[in-house]
Structure formats: C-alpha cells, structure tokens
Amino acid sequence: MSKKIFIACDTTNLNKVRKIINYTQSTNLKICYKFGLEFFYSKSGRSFLSKMDKKQTIFLDLKLNDIPNTCVSAVNSLKDLKNIKYLTVHINGGYEMLKTIKKAAKKINKKLKILGVTVLTSFSNQSLKKTGHTRSIKNLVIHQAKLAKSSGLDGIVCSAKEAKLVKKICKNMEIITPGIRLTGDNVQDQNKNRVVSPKSAFNNGATAIVIGRSITQGNIKKNIQKLIKSLE
C-alpha cells in the first residue's frame, strides 16, 4: 500500500502552490495537498481550490471550533467545493459540535471525511498547562481520541508521538500526523519533543503524514527526493 503524504501548502502565493504540486509528483508515494487558513482566507485561495484537478485529494485544514450552529453553517458554505476529501475540526469544540459537523458534512458530500484535531503539535506540557488544562498532553490526547470516536468522526490529527496510543482507541480510523521533519531540519514553531521523522511516524501507526516546510522551503525537488529516500 502506498504511503499517503499531505504536503502543507502554507502560502498565499498561487504560483508557489502550482510549483509545489508540479515538483512533488511521485510514483511511489500517494502525494496529496493540505490547505490551511492562510491559503483559504487569501483572495484567490478558495477559487483556486474549486478549480483544482478532481483527481487530487484535497485536505482543507480549517480547524473549526465554534458553537454547533456556526460550524454547521460553515460546513454548508463549503458545499460547492466537491473535491475536498478531508476537513478538520478541533475536538475540544465538544461532542455536540462534532456530531453536528459530521451530520452536516454527510449531507453536503458523502465522501467528505471529518478529522478531529487533538493537542496541536506546537504545544508542550508546560504550554498546555498555561491554557488551564491539568492533564498531560498524552492523557488529553487519549481523552480527545475517545471523544472523537464516540462522536463518529473519521480520523484523528495528532503528533506521531501519540499515534500508537491513539491507534489502540481509534482502530479503524485514519491517524494523520503533522509535526514531521526530515533529518537535520529546523523544528521551527513545532515542539521539539513532538516532532518525528516520516518513517517513524508510519512505524508508529500513522495512516498519513502532514509535512510542510521540510518540503516547501528551499529546493522542493531535492526535498521530495530526500523524503522518498527517507521512507525506503
């Protein structure tokens, strides 16, 4: 089975996105593209997505987190974007929100998968505590994974450090892990204790990885070759 890789297209520059797509095609890997707030909010971002090749797997990383009615309206407003396969929501939005989002998604597009985001990979135990949480990252992620499962979500977004634990709870769900770096790359704003290499992420049970700056900064063609090699 080919490994699924989501390249995070974190830019507002359409030419940069076209370049990322053109330079990252691979025969061994299933390369897909993730678009987040930066691109989606940009002037031409949304219409670019609506015109993308239907064969591409698009991951829209909007990390919804609001009252159920607002989230459902947001999901409904994506109705025209038929090529989106994945959409993210924050699990800490709660059971009601997650349930209603899943129901709304099913109505607008049967193929749209809803992924629950656990503790962001930029967090450390210390920074989590500052937000008022008393649990450790590990325990909070376990709790959130159970909540996502009971809410009927299709997958979980977590650090690959927690993927093994999450897999025990979410056996048949997708486990998608950001916070990925190729050897020697700077962790930047990600937390150094939650960053993992592509190979280790898959070994830990990730069904797909998300990788951004390790591929999109510098020489994209060389970076993708480095990624392919690292997974051999």
Chain residues that interact with ligand C5P, rule: CB under 6 A: 8, 10, 36, 61, 117, 120-121, 157, 178-180, 190, 210-214
- Annotated active-site residue 63? The verdict is yes
Do the beta carbons of residue 149 and residue 99 sit within 8 Å?
no
CB of 109 to ligand C5P, least distance (A): 21
- Distance separating alpha carbons of residues 41 and 228, to the nearest angstrom: 31
- Shortest distance in whole angstroms from residue 159 CB to ligand C5P: 7
CA distance 118 to 140: 8
Which residue number, 101 or 107, has a Cβ lying nearer to ligand C5P? Answer: 101
Specify the residue, 120 or 220, whose C-beta has the smaller distance to ligand C5P: 120
Indicate the residue whose CB is closest to ligand C5P: 212
Catalytic pick among 16, 19, 63, 146? 63
Q: How many CB atoms lie within 10 A of CB 126?
A: 8
| Nearest distance from C-beta of residue 161 to ligand C5P, angstroms | 11
Q: Which long-range contacts (CB under 8 A, 24 or more apart) does 50-53 make?
A: 50/80, 50/81, 50/83, 52/83
| DSSP sequence for 11-68 | -S-HHHHHHHHHHT--SSSEEEEEE-HHHHHSTTHHHHHHHS-TTS-EEEEEEE-S-H
Nearer to ligand C5P, 104 or 158 (CB): 158
Taking alpha carbons only, the member of 231, 197, 232 closest to residue 211 is 197
Provide, rounded to whole angstroms, the least separation between the CB of residue 158 and ligand C5P: 7
What are the catalytic residues?
A: 63
